[in-house]
Structure 1
């Protein structure tokens, strides 16, 4: 509970004038000079909070520091009364000397009292221990830079801090998707803690001027809304990775979590980074997190720019692998182009840094969807989870792998873990419903999808998976309405279109189903498995099998679900279909 330099100076200033109002301008003048790189309002509020934490003071019922709104602060603590030592009087000097020393003695005693209070609190904290912290959320850091365009940089700082803390196995770290939803929130720490099931919150600010970066962080006990720890970091942008690692180590130490030797090594292993490469990487992740085909291509361009500035920087390669995987999964690129490039860049990332979990997941993902290397994918997903148990996408995609393999129980366990790490993630909740759909448990699928839609009525995957479940329950009008809703929100997602075409076929709307097939074939590439789905709905087994064989030869990623997708149920008695299922695996 050691006070940093600025709060210490502020405490001495206030205690030197007990009972007097010290206005904010005077504090700024004496504690921060005009050349100091700091936002005064944020810095002053931060310092006062640290002092109150050290003294065990409460802003609403102060015993030491009183706030006078919009004016300043006043020290109201009382020094311990001590009788002055008796001494033989000396002529003409006793009274003047006593008067000169009385204020000094009072101030010394006052500071001594403060020191005793802080010491008692340190002793109590060390003997009783802090509240057990097993889960933590890093809230979006605030941008204090003069340039709003630096938001991508600030978001990147938040992401990297989450990533570094997520390496600690004994700490559950809430994922970015959920944490970012609290940007600018007015909710209290206890509210956020309950919603995220987090014991503690990390909040702070980022301020950048040129190549200088200042990050303020503080740790809050979520349940009690109590300040536990705070620190300010100043670095040149070239040393930004070291700053992030140091902050993660300090936070882990502050919450007294036990680090393994490997975790200590990971958090101590840092390298300088080319500033231009780092900024390009952050911009790439900024676009990648938008999760649209257009943004994914923009992200890939920024990752490539980062590599051109620093070819030894592993993370941009992992970013490119993630981008290619998503573009392949969405049918935006042919599988050979998407997944071959994903594997090459993931492999390069792991050669440069074997401990990048994003690259591990990207490689396992491509092994699963493109190579149909079931054993290799299983090993890869497990390795990624071992490296970073807090990486929610690893659990999410491992869950999809497990349901494709036919292990529903383990799949649901993995998606539940992903939801625990990212409780507000719409895609993870929707994927939970999709897994229930693939397991032919349509009521459970509908329940999960409804929960996701309640969180965001315009999240199209939830509407798509709901439509699929409604169709399998025979609720065709409701299903058609949901398919159209998904198409409208997504701007014409072709997977939703394929399922709608399947429904048209089931309903006997042949002309509309055939129009769907023609529309999908107008694109440079459409997964053959999607076209086969429409023919399955039409009852055209020969055409459906022909397109599935084409999908097999093209390494269509959607073929791994051949034995689980209910839309293919009408084909299961066909011998050629059984051969395809056997060849796809797992065997």
Structure 2
């Protein structure tokens, strides 16, 4: 006799077997790991689940930083129509973890009868102390069985850098053969989901990227021949540490449907640049992208990123300007031109471009990330501090959020200028966790070259996504006289030469 379980609360139902969240019997789009996060909290409703416990349940044997967990919880709240301020469903328990607040009904069915059991999860509140009693005996086993064969979809601690290089979304040519090849879809719902995925992806926030991936998957389910939806999903995976290898797989699936899809080649070029450091193949893929889809702005944007990885900053600026000509309304491309100008050490021009981008959207996170370093290089410490604080508020979508290191950063800036600011940031990041590249940058800006080199070496050994950007970054200029830094830069020299030769032979 097989048994099915459902979890009901308010107008929602969770079906762990089908892995679906329903609201008034209509499915709500969730990425796999957002669903797992919500399910873990619901199965422990009324109980406090520590952050460590939640990570262990949802990402067993995988390192996930606290900030990434926060993004998934925020995405789960949004799916329920909740937010950090109201916390009607998911409560944050300071210094402890999270608790699912509403009463949850566990409904059990078997194959031979309709409803055989319905039990409530209860929480008894006594004064200011919560004594938790669950009469339903909710067990973890159902959850464990549901996720054991499910692929990991965790965003690593690269949010700033992922945002930094993320491209403007798909700008594709209208061709008469489009509907036949899968470049467009005749399924109205698939098209709607795809367009919403585009919109969320362009926002460049961690939780929105998860939602975008879920929508692209939904569009594919609705129209399995929708090639551009595969490209959209591939682009999501291209910035996802555990799943980047799936990016090329999904891009190749798009090419099976439409071999003339230049967008897919651009994605593969990006993956080969930043995850595999295979610059010769990346160059080949970008050239195919331009041949098939010459007006695809994202290909030019990512080609600019490729040039930055090779240290060819003049070429990078030229390509980014070309991308902006093709898609002048793109927020990511407008912001990334700031980055290209920064790498060219044109700080005033970079600042002006960032201000233009903020005029389009004052809350676009990429722009604030770039401004941190631009203001620092211009010696404008107060402005750099403000950009750090603004970035953190945008990262967790809470305008009232107070960055825990805010006071230390302010004191560091007051006592020792921009070096003190970044020393405080480095100390906080070292305690709480950060990317290797993030720590290397902070220590370099603080003037601690030994620690900066140490973390660059770690980034190289860990094959960190953002390491490819470090060689050309002007904030590491003082390290370039160090032979150790030059040895790290040598990692790509053979590939770069091979790439340039391949380009000349085309």
Check the 8 A contact 2:248/2:268 in 1, yes or no.
Answer: yes
Q: CA deviation at 1:582?
A: 0.9
Q: CA deviation at 1:547?
A: 2.0
Unpaired runs of at least 5, structure 1: 1-148, 153-247, 250-262, 329-333
Cα distance per residue 1:413-468 (max 9 Å; x no partner)? 22222222222323222211211111112122122122222333333332332332
Check the 8 A contact 1:470/1:478 in 2, yes or no.
Answer: yes
**What is the SS of the residue equivalent to 1:351?**
helix
Give the structure 2 partner of residue 295 of structure 1.
208
Give the structure 2 partner of residue 393 of structure 1.
298
Check the 8 A contact 1:505/1:535 in 2, yes or no.
Answer: no
Give the structure 1 partner of residue 275 of structure 2.
370
Q: Does 1:574 align with 2:456?
A: no
Unpaired runs of at least 5, structure 2: 1-25, 30-172, 498-506
CA distance 1:274–1:455, change in 2 (3 Å): closer
Give the structure 1 partner of residue 455 of structure 2.
547
Give the structure 1 partner of residue 128 of structure 2.
none
CA distance 1:584–1:308, change in 2 (3 Å): same
Q: Does 1:512 align with 2:424?
A: yes
**What is the SS of the residue equivalent to 2:334?**
helix
Where in structure 2 are the equivalents of 1:5-404 lying within 5 Å? 269=181, 280-326=193-239, 328=240, 334=241, 337-404=242-309
Cα distance per residue 1:160-219 (max 9 Å; x no partner)? xxxxxxxxxxxxxxxxxxxxxxxxxxxxxxxxxxxxxxxxxxxxxxxxxxxxxxxxxxxx
Check the 8 A contact 2:220/2:230 in 1, yes or no.
Answer: yes
Q: CA deviation at 1:579?
A: 0.6
Q: CA deviation at 1:275?
A: 6.6
CA distance 1:390–1:520, change in 2 (3 Å): farther
Q: Does 1:414 align with 2:322?
A: no
Q: CA deviation at 1:290?
A: 3.9
Q: Higher Cα Rg: structure 1 or 2? A: 1
TM (normalized to structure 2)? 0.54
CA distance 1:545–1:338, change in 2 (3 Å): farther
Of the three residues 466, 478, 485, the one matched with 2:383 is 478
Higher relative contact order (CA 8 A, sep 6+): 2
| Stretch deviating more after TM superposition (357-366 or 401-410) | 401-410
CA distance 1:505–1:518, change in 2 (3 Å): farther
**What is the SS of the residue equivalent to 1:557?**
coil
Q: Does 1:528 align with 2:440?
A: no
Separation in 2, partners of 1:319, 1:458: 23
Q: Does 1:469 align with 2:381?
A: no
CA distance 1:459–1:287, change in 2 (3 Å): closer
Q: CA deviation at 1:583?
A: 0.7
Q: CA deviation at 1:480?
A: 2.5
Check the 8 A contact 2:204/2:365 in 1, yes or no.
Answer: no
Q: CA deviation at 1:505?
A: 8.7
Q: CA deviation at 1:308?
A: 4.2
CA distance 1:276–1:458, change in 2 (3 Å): closer
Give the structure 1 partner of residue 78 of structure 2.
none
Check the 8 A contact 1:339/1:366 in 2, yes or no.
Answer: yes
Check the 8 A contact 1:281/1:302 in 2, yes or no.
Answer: yes
CA distance 1:566–1:431, change in 2 (3 Å): same
Check the 8 A contact 1:467/1:480 in 2, yes or no.
Answer: yes
Cα distance per residue 1:395-414 (max 9 Å; x no partner)? 11212222332333332222
CA distance 1:298–1:488, change in 2 (3 Å): closer
Separation in 2, partners of 1:579, 1:318: 36
CA distance 1:283–1:477, change in 2 (3 Å): closer
Where in structure 2 are the equivalents of 1:553-568 lying within 5 Å? 553-568=461-476
Q: CA deviation at 1:506?
A: 4.9
Separation in 2, partners of 1:444, 1:298: 34
**What is the SS of the residue equivalent to 1:383?**
helix
Cα distance per residue 1:264-311 (max 9 Å; x no partner)? 655765698667655654554454344321121122223333444554
TM (normalized to structure 1)? 0.47
Q: Over aligned residues, Cα RMSD in angstroms?
A: 3.6
CA distance 1:554–1:338, change in 2 (3 Å): farther
Check the 8 A contact 1:273/1:313 in 2, yes or no.
Answer: no
**What is the SS of the residue equivalent to 2:267?**
helix
Give the structure 2 partner of residue 455 of structure 1.
360
Check the 8 A contact 2:255/2:264 in 1, yes or no.
Answer: yes
